[in-house]
Amino acid sequence: MTSTLTPRTSIILLLLAAALVAAPMILPITGEFSGTDDVGSKAIEASHPGYVRWTQPFWEPPSKEIESTIFALEAAIGAGILGYVIGRRHGSRRRDDTDR
């Protein structure tokens, strides 16, 4: 099965992607954005006020920007590995089909 994108479909998809990227910058969205670690810690503190952590992180990033960068790098590496595995499986299946 082969699927090809027409130039019109490609342009529409590119415009939709651009709209998704531009929307958060244009729309007047306000609020505090935090990660699940922060939300989880606040929920534990609210439900168990006397809770004492029994572990400590061995290293904390010096700023939130570096923490976000490391998280994005981790996600990119994971996506690269996943894409590689899927591509290899797809390619090996394609080779098996042509060998028959």
pTM: predicted TM-score of the whole model, two decimal places: 0.48
HEC per residue, 12-57: HHHHHHHHHHHHHHHCCCCCCCCCHHHHHHHHHHHHCCCCCCCCCC
Least confident range of 21-25, 52-56, 62-66, 96-100: 96-100
Residue 21 above 70 pLDDT?
yes
**Domain ranges within the chain, ordered by starting residue:** 31-99
Give tens-digit pLDDT for 29-84.
777 766 777 788 889 989 998 888 888 888 888 888 888 899 999 999 999 999 99
